[in-house]
Amino acid sequence: MRHTSLFSLYFTLLIALLCQLFPWVGQGIIFRPDFMLVVILYWLLRAPNLCNVGTAWFAGLLVDLATGSLLGQHALSFSVAAFIALSYQRRLVLFNTWQLAGYVTALLVIERVVILLLKLFEGNDNPGWHYFWPVITGLLLWQFMILMFGGLTRPKTN
Amino acid sequence: MLKGVHQKLEAQQTPAFFVRGPSPFSRMVFFCALSISIMAIDARFNYLSQVRQAFIAALHPLEVVANAPSEWYRDVKKYFSAHNALVQENYALKQQAFEHQIMLQRLSTIQAENNHLRSLLNGNIPIQPKAVLGEISHMGRDPFTHTVVVNRGSQHNIKAGQAVVDSKGVIGQVTRVYPFTSEVTLITDKELSIPIQIERNQLRAIAFGEGNNTLDIPYLPTNVDIKVGDKMVTSGIDGVYPSGLAVATVTKIQQNPESPFAKIVSTPIADVSNHLQLLLLELPEAKESELIPPAAAEVVNHKKEDAPKKNAAPRKNGTASKNISSKNKAKTNASH
DSSP string, A79-132: HHHHHHHHHTGGGGGG--HHHHHHHHHHHHHHHHHHHHHHHHHHTPPP--GGGG
CA distance A74 to A76: 5
Q: Chain A contacts of B66, Cβ < 8 Å?
A: 18-19, 21-23
Distance from CA of A146 to the nearest CA of B (A): 24
Give the separation between CA A45 and CA A82, rounded to whole angstroms: 9
pLDDT category, A108, cuts 50, 70, 90?
Answer: very high
- Residue B211 shares a structural domain with residue B105: no
The amino acid that residue A130 corresponds to is H
Report pLDDT for B206: 92
Pairing outcome for strands B262-268 and B215-216: antiparallel
More confident residue, B313 or A34: A34
Say what the pLDDT of residue B298 is: 44
Residue closest to B21 by CA, chosen among A52, A47, A90: A52
Q: Collapsing DSSP states into helix, strand and coil, what is residue A140?
A: helix
The answer, for A6 touching chain B at a CB cutoff of 8 Å, is no
Instruction: Give me the interface pTM, i.e. the ipTM.
Output: 0.85
Q: Which residues on adjacent β-strands are paired with residue B131?
A: B281
CB-CB: which of B21, B42, B190 is closest to A70?
Answer: B42
Residues B113 and B211 in one domain: no
Question: Does B335 reside within a domain?
Answer: no
Helix (H) or strand (E) holding A72: none
User: Quick check: is B99 in a domain?
Assistant: yes
Smallest CA–CA distance, residue B288 to chain A, in Å, is: 34
Out of B24, B56, B70, name the one closest to residue A23 (CB). B70
Digit-coded pLDDT (tens) for B83-140:
788 888 899 999 999 989 888 888 888 888 888 888 887 766 666 678 888 888 878 7
Q: What is residue B231's three-state secondary structure?
A: strand
Confidence of residue A103 (pLDDT cuts 50, 70, 90): very high
**Neighboring chain B residues of A69 at a CB cutoff of 8 Å:** 142, 144-145
Give the separation between CA B64 and CA B61, rounded to whole angstroms.
5
Beta-bridge partner residues of A36: none
The answer as to whether B72 is a domain residue is: no
Instruction: Check whether residue B222 and residue B287 sit in a common domain.
Output: yes
- Residues B99 and B188 both lie in one domain: no
pLDDT digits (tens, 9 = 90+) for A50-61: 888 999 999 999
Q: What is the rounded distance in angstroms from the CA atom of residue B166 to the CA atom of residue B169?
A: 6
Answer yes or no: is pLDDT of B304 > 50: no
pLDDT for residue B330 is more than 80: no
Which A positions 13-72 lie with beta carbon below 8 A of chain B? 17-26, 29-30, 48-49, 52-54, 57, 60-61, 65-72
Answer whether residue B336 is part of any domain.
no
- Average pLDDT in chain A: 86
| Chain B residue with minimum CA distance to A25 | B139
Residue B159 lies in a domain: yes
Report the chain A residue with the minimal C-alpha distance to residue B16. A49
How would residue A25 be classed by pLDDT, with cut points 50, 70 and 90? low
Give which of B186, B72, B103, B182 is closest to B135, Cα–Cα.
B182
Instruction: Give pLDDT, residue B251.
Output: 92
Do residues B177 and B247 share a domain? Answer: yes
Three state DSSP letters for B104-158 = HHHHHHHHHHHHHHHHHCCCCCCCCCCEEEEEEEEECCCCCCCEEEECCCHHHCC
In angstroms, the CA A46 to CA A44 distance is: 6
Q: Are residues B145 and B173 in the same domain?
A: yes
| In a shared domain, residues B266 and B148 | yes
Q: Which pLDDT does position B137 carry in this prediction?
A: 81
Domain membership of residue B324 (yes or no) is no
Name the strand (E) or helix (H) holding B312. none
Best probe of the A interface among B31, B151, B186, by most A CBs < 10 A, is B31
B66/A22 touch (CB, cutoff 8 Å), yes or no: yes
The reply to whether B111 and B256 lie within a common domain is no
Q: How many other C-beta atoms lie within 10 A of the C-beta of residue A122?
A: 16
A54: which chain B residues are within 8 Å (Cβ-Cβ)? 27, 31
In this model, does residue B327 exceed pLDDT 80? no
Please give the single-letter amino acid code of residue B232.
Answer: M
Residues A41, B180: Cα–Cα separation, whole Å: 33
Q: What is the CATH number of the domain that holds B137?
A: 2.40.10.340
The reply to whether B6 falls in a domain is no
- Tell me if residue B232 falls in helix, strand or coil: strand
The number of folded domains in chain B is 3
Candidates A71, A73, A112, A129: best to mutate against B (most CBs of B within 10 A) is A71
**B50 interaction partners in chain A (CB closer than 8 Å):** none
* B62 plus B85 within the same structural domain: no
Evaluate if residue B322 carries a pLDDT over 50: no
Q: Say what the pLDDT of residue B326 is.
A: 41
Residues in chain B with CB shorter than 8 Å from the CB of A128 are none
Q: Say if B329 falls within a structural domain.
A: no
Q: Does B62 contact A124 at a Cβ distance shorter than 8 Å?
A: no
Helix (H) or strand (E) holding A53: helix A53-67
**pLDDT(B16) > 70:** no
Does B43 sit within 8 Å of A70, measured CB to CB? yes
> Same domain, yes or no, for B38 and B88?
no
**Residues B189, B85: one domain?**
no
Domain that holds residue B87: 81-121
Q: How far is CA B121 from CA B114, B124, B134, B173, B192, in A?
A: 10, 9, 37, 33, 35
